[in-house]
Chains A and B, each alone.
Chain A
């Protein structure tokens, strides 16, 4: 071997080893993973099984505790245990789900299958709206008809969707709005709202009024509610999930990015409007953004705060969409006017944009990592919005300018951060975004309202009852602040809001009529300022014409309302009402129903058992040897023998009512069997039997054949026979009589008492040694003990029996049981003879003349138990 060969071998070996290791390591890893995977599955199954059992046991223990507490009137304790029961029950449900679906799916690598059930379903359920109607304690909302509800937010308020009545609609129309549906946010002390919540919301309301976001409001000593316009649509959370489910794991497509950026642009525009109005939304998050026809609307006014407020900053907001810096400032006790709320809203927009792109919330603030496909410029915008305060966009407009640059490009992925106005150094000032227009309808109709009121003397709003005053009162307030108080010449009297909660205000230095109408009128003064800045839809129309148009809209709205009312709203009929507690407790209800079910079942079983045992307790004592058959319909006494029974005409204790009339139960077979039994009876007996049959028709429930078998067994005193006086029997579903005898006889249930019919055929010539009589008796006795009907030797006797034996003998002829052909003939005969299942053939062998026993059975008959009985010692 040359050195080169050795080197080659060594190198080859090393390479081979390396290749082997490279190949083997993944395989070993894979096997290890597989073992660990299966082990995890087994462990999960076992632990969940144990948890399931534990949960069930615990839940069962809770049931009596709940009921006991209900009985003794400890409702709170019952509720407590009810909740505990509910927890256990839910836990059991989860275990069942995991055992049946989740773990097997995971084992098979199909976790994606269960994602919907485990994530989307609970989320949808959690987001389900509450009751469709306010509770009785909360009361109704005058002027509104509740048509549904929305999921409540974290503020504790309840949200109802309602339709304003004609009066309200007219009032809204006077303020320039056509409102079909509204959202009522209600806080009621009776429904669990707290005063701090109410105070916080009321502050927000005060601020929101400035932007005309509130249509109506009311405060009583028990509740507080305000009304906003309802914007139908899905939340941005839902829309985001939908977009990502369409897009796949890579993230939003270029086609989807456009609309998404459009929505964020809407949001920024809306926020800019807030900020210019001096307001800080403070709770910008996807759940608070409603997408309607592709446009984004910011909702939830619960945390709106004036930017210049002197109140102490609170940490309210939503985690991950709230700048942590704001929390730090709040913890330091900063005042609202000491911080820049605008930048905190911008942080929220950045977080929202991140959430839309990533389909996840930005858990790491400005450091959150992008994992989905996204233009670099868009990432830059998100990070710039979420970075530290001093680096952040100074205004929504600045961010909007950057966003519009990306939005306006042919290919967003080609836009670089350097292309953004803020990076180029232009900032918001360089690209001032067009601001959202002031609703022209508001301004126009407000002016029209003022003019019209001038013409219509005596037209007075009902301040307390109507929205008209409320809305009218709000508008001028907003307008007054925006335009500056005292600006412009007013021919109207000054307005002093006496109680903003209720919308009540006083007109200073004017007649009542002017006071009522002063709201819109004063608003018109300031709106005129706006009108010079913004285009108006109604420019050029006279005030009267505009009012006329508004009235026309109201009329149309009324017609629509009328049509809807005539159709009827049915969906509010699902309103749920708690009976005992303001907090429904499904646990108590479940425990109650389980108890009720158990009680009904127990009662049913008790009654049934009592019915079964009724005979021995109530029936008169029987004479020796008598048999009593208890049926649902009454009692039948039979004689100790068939003959005696027939002699008595089947009836011993009374009338036909004693018999069970089981309708249409194999009447033909009963008649047939009775007829067969009648062949054994004397003419006199036969007459009486016929009489009995006639009287009871075809519905006699005791089949004669069964009686014959049972009575025969009884006569021989066999276990299983009717050996005990007072033996119970009951009528089964097939119309037969199921006999239940007392110990030592086991209870018998079911219609067929017989294990089968065995024909014992003694073909041994007479004088055989030893004699077979004793053996045959023992055999027949043993078979009867096992519920076989015995025919032939030691059998019942009678013509049928004799005929059967004769037929069998004819088949066998003179053959011995060792003759295969004879055995086959017997088998064929059995196949055609329904009265016999097996033949126990005792004869002598043809070859050596010794006695032999052979069992031949019908092919369909299972003779294993019969063989066991015969071979048993």
Chain B
């Protein structure tokens, strides 16, 4: 059963809330691009990948009305199935175009909603989707936090600087750095839980964060592990997006 946040988000999507769609695009667009690039390697170019990732969103827009949460599909599978359909459709269309005949778009096969049964089709892809969720949470925290607070968190956790260096750079004391760090960390925990819930259709998906060392429950002992996990996800996400950049710039 969907949680409230997910239901609310799906409702926004169904209501064609442009901001919700943009949010979805901003969060998962890079993942889709990477996946489409992987599938279409050698057959489709960078521009087509970008177009297709947008078309995937358009297909999602059509599909969202027929989305049935009781079938037990994962959120990530939902995205993936539609992306695959979009790519297949594009390749069919191209082949038909080469043959000089018209070809209608094929109907979206939504059997996956039942047959997938909550299983993941691709571990790498699943990891990318999860990273995208964490990244979205970080972005939200960056927006809501005080600039200096988040800068401290960034310097300390993402850039790996010591508390002493951060304090010296900002002309403050180490305890202050620690206090501000904790403030951002707490915000991140809350946001992460929200984001994961928003983009999860199954309970198994909702437990992803905890399985990846990002326990939503505040626990002093886990702070360092939480920061490490966040930093790890952040750096992996940066690396993944850098390769995405490289493919965009050719």
Chain A contacts to B: CB under 8 angstroms? 47, 51, 58, 84, 118-119, 122-123, 324, 327-328, 331-332, 360-361, 363-367, 369, 376, 380, 383-384, 387-388, 391, 416-418, 423
Q: A51-B42, A324-B26, A327-B22 are in contact. List 6 more A-B contacts (CB 8 A).
A: A361-B249, A367-B138, A369-B158, A369-B235, A416-B169, A417-B170
Cβ-defined contact, A387 with B19, below 8 A: no
B 62-100 to A, binary, CB cutoff 8 A, 1 in contact else 0: 000000000000000000000000000000000001100
Known contacts: A51-B42, A418-B169, A418-B171. The answer to whether A331 contacts B22 by CB under 8 A is: yes
Are A388's CB and B245's CB within 8 A? no
Report the minimum CB–CB distance from A50 to chain B (whole Å).
11
Q: Which residue of B lies closest to A363 (CB)?
A: B245
29 contacts between A and B (CB under 8 A): A47-B42, A51-B42, A84-B98, A119-B249, A122-B250, A324-B26, A327-B22, A328-B19, A328-B22, A331-B18, A331-B19, A332-B19, A360-B245, A363-B241, A363-B245, A365-B139, A366-B142, A367-B138, A367-B142, A369-B235, A369-B238, A383-B154, A384-B147, A387-B150, A391-B146, A416-B169, A417-B151, A418-B170, A423-B148
Interface size, chain B (Cβ < 8 Å): 34
Closest chain-B Cβ to A89's Cβ sits at a distance in Å of 14
A193–B184 CA distance with the chains assembled, in angstroms: 50
Question: B168 an interface residue at 8 Å Cβ cutoff?
Answer: yes
Closest B-chain residue to A77, C-beta based? B100
Contacts known (A122-B250, A328-B22, A391-B147); A417 close to B169, Cβ less than 8 A: yes
The A-contacting residues of B in range 124-140, CB under 8 angstroms, are: 135, 138-139
B168 touches A416 (CB 8 A): yes
A119 contacts which chain B residues (CB < 8 A)?
249-250
Shortest 4 CB-CB contacts between residues of A and residues of B: A418-B171, A391-B147, A331-B18, A388-B143
Q: Which residue of B lies closest to A391 (CB)?
A: B147
Whether the pair A423, B250 counts as a contact (CB closer than 8 A) is no
How many whole Å from A103's CB to the nearest CB in chain B?
13
Partner of A383, one of B26, B151, B234, B241: B151
Task: Please give me the residue from chain B that is nearest to A123 by CB atom.
Answer: B250
Q: CA separation between A58 and B170, bound complex, in Å?
A: 64
* Distance in angstroms between the alpha carbons of A363 and B240 in the assembled complex: 11
The residue in chain A whose Cβ has the minimal distance to the Cβ of B149 is A391
Known contacts: A84-B98, A364-B238, A418-B169. The answer to whether A380 contacts B18 by CB under 8 A is no
Beta-carbon nearest neighbor of B237 in chain A: A364
| Bitwise interface map of B from 50 to 71 toward A, beta carbon under 8 Å scored 1, else 0 | 0000000000000000000000
With a cutoff of 8 Å between Cβ atoms, the chain A residues found around residue B158 in the complex are 369
- CA distance in complex: A324, B22 (Å): 9
On whether A364 and B168 interact (CB within 8 A), knowing A51-B42, A119-B250, A384-B147, the answer reads no
Closest to A415 in B: B169
Q: Measured between alpha carbons, how far is A416 from B167 in the docked complex, in Å? A: 11
Task: Report whether B98 and A416 are in contact in the complex, using a CB–CB cutoff of 8 Å.
Answer: no
Chain B residues within an 8 Å CB radius of A388:
142-144, 147
| B186, CB-defined interface residue at 8 Å | no
Residue of B nearest to A332 (CB): B19
Among A123, A391, A416, contact of B171 (Cβ-Cβ < 8 Å): A416
Do B147 and A118 touch (CB < 8 A)?
A: no
Within 8 A of A (CB), among B159-208: 168-172
Compute how far the CA of A365 lies from the CA of B237 in the bound complex, rounded to whole angstroms: 13
B244 near A: Cβ within 8 Å?
yes
What is the bound-complex CA distance between A360 and B150, given in angstroms?
A: 23
B228-250 Cβ-contact flags toward A at 8 Å (1 or 0): 00000011001001101100011
Kindly state the separation between the CA atoms of A840 and B241 in the bound complex, as whole angstroms.
83
A848 to chain B: closest CB distance in Å? 77
| Nearest chain B residue, comparing its CB with the CB of A376 | B169
Contact B138 A58 (CB under 8 A): no
Q: Flag if B241 contacts A423 (CB, 8 Å).
A: no
Query: CB distance A367 to B147 under 8 Å?
Result: no
Distance between B95 CB and nearest chain A CB, rounded to angstroms: 11
How far in angstroms is the closest Cβ of chain B from A854? 66
> In the complex, A426 Cα to B234 Cα: how many Å?
33
**Given A418-B170, A418-B171, A118–B250 Cβ distance below 8 Å?**
yes
The CA-CA distance from A119 to B247 in the complex, in Å, is 11
Query: Which residues of chain B come closer than 8 Å to A328, judged between CB atoms?
Result: 19, 22
- Residues in B neighbouring A84, C-beta threshold 8 A: 97-98
How far apart are the CA atoms of A58 and B135 in the complex, in Å?
45
Contacts of B235 in A (CB 8 A): 369
Which residues in window 206-241 of B have CB below 8 A to A?
234-235, 238, 241
**Contact indicator A423/B238 (Cβ below 8 Å):** no
Complex: A380 Cα to B166 Cα, angstroms? 12
Chain B nearest CB from A356 CB (Å) reads: 16
Chain A residues near B143 (CB-CB < 8 A): 388
| Chain A neighbourhood of B234, CB < 8 A | 367
- Known contacts: A84-B98, A367-B138. The answer to whether A380 contacts B151 by CB under 8 A is yes
A58–B22 contact, CB under 8 A?
Answer: no
Contact A387–B147 (Cβ < 8 Å): yes
A1 to chain B, nearest CB (A): 48
Partner of B98, one of A58, A360, A364: A58
B130 CB to closest chain A CB (Å) equals 17
CB-based nearest A residue for B155: A376
- Complex Cα spacing A416 to B165, Å: 10
Interface core residue of A118, A388, A416 (most chain B CB under 10 Å): A388
Query: How far is the CB of B225 from the nearest CB of chain A, in Å?
Result: 22
Q: How far is the CA of A749 from the CA of B55 in the complex (A)?
A: 65
Kindly identify which residue among B18, B142, B171 contacts A332, using a CB–CB cutoff of 8 Å.
Answer: B18
Cα separation A384 to B151 with both chains bound (whole Å): 9
Please give, as numbers and ranges, the residues of chain A lying within 8 Å of B139 by CB-CB distance: 365, 367
Q: What are the residues of chain A within 8 A of B138 when measuring CB–CB?
A: 367
Which residues of the other chain, A, contact B18 by a CB distance below 8 angstroms? 331-332
Residues of B within 8 A of A118 (CB): 250
Q: CA of A327 to CA of B26 in the docked complex: distance in angstroms?
A: 11
CB distance from B188 to the nearest CB of A (A): 13
Known contacts A328-B19, A332-B18, A369-B238: does B169 contact A361 (CB below 8 Å)? Answer: no
A163 vs B144: C-alpha distance in the bound complex, in angstroms? Answer: 53
Chain A residues near B249 (CB-CB < 8 A): 119, 360-361
Q: Are B245 and A361 in contact (CB under 8 A)?
A: yes
Nearest Cβ on chain A to B43's Cβ, whole angstroms: 10
Q: Kindly list chain A residues whose C-beta atoms are within 8 Å of the C-beta of B241.
A: 363-364
Q: What is the distance, in angstroms, from A125's C-beta to the closest C-beta of chain B? A: 12
A813 and B92 alpha carbons, distance in the complex (Å): 88
Please determine whether A387 and B22 come into contact, CB atoms closer than 8 angstroms: no
Which B residues touch A122, using CB under 8 A?
250
Whether the pair B142, A387 counts as a contact (CB closer than 8 A) is yes
The residue of chain B having its C-beta at the shortest distance from the C-beta of A364 within the complex is: B241
Given the complex, which residues of A lie within 8 Å of B142, measured CB to CB? Answer: 366-367, 387-388
Set of chain A residues within 8 Å of B168, measured between Cβ atoms? 416
- Name the distance in Å between A13's Cβ and chain B's nearest Cβ: 36
Question: Could you tell me the distance between the alpha carbons of A290 and B151 in the complex, rounded to whole angstroms?
Answer: 32
In Å, the complex CA distance between A328 and B171 comes to 36
Q: Which of A331, A364, A416 has the most CB of B within 10 A?
A: A364
Closest partner residue, chain A, to B238 (CB atom):
A369
Interface centre among B42, B142, B168 (most CB of A within 10 A): B142
Q: Chain B residues near A47 (CB, 8 Å)?
A: 42
Using CB atoms, name the residue of chain A closest to B18: A331
Contacts of A51 in B (CB 8 A): 42
A119 CB to nearest B CB, Å:
6
Give every chain A residue within 8 A of B150 (Cβ-Cβ).
387
B250 contacts A363, CB within 8 Å? Answer: no
CB distance from B181 to the nearest CB of A (A): 16
Q: Give chain A residues whose Cβ lies under 8 Å from the Cβ of B170.
A: 416-418, 423
Residues of A within 8 A of B19 (CB): 328, 331-332
Minimum CB–CB distance from A381 to chain B (whole Å) comes to 11
Bound: A123/B144 CA distance, A: 39
The CA of A57 and the CA of B158, in the complex, are separated in Å by 53
Question: What residues of A have a CB within 8 angstroms of the CB of B171 in the complex?
Answer: 416, 418, 423
Give the residue name and chain of the B residue nearest to A360 (CB). Answer: B245
B residues near A332, Cβ cutoff 8 Å: 18-19
The answer for the CA separation of A463 and B39 in the assembled complex, in Å, is 62
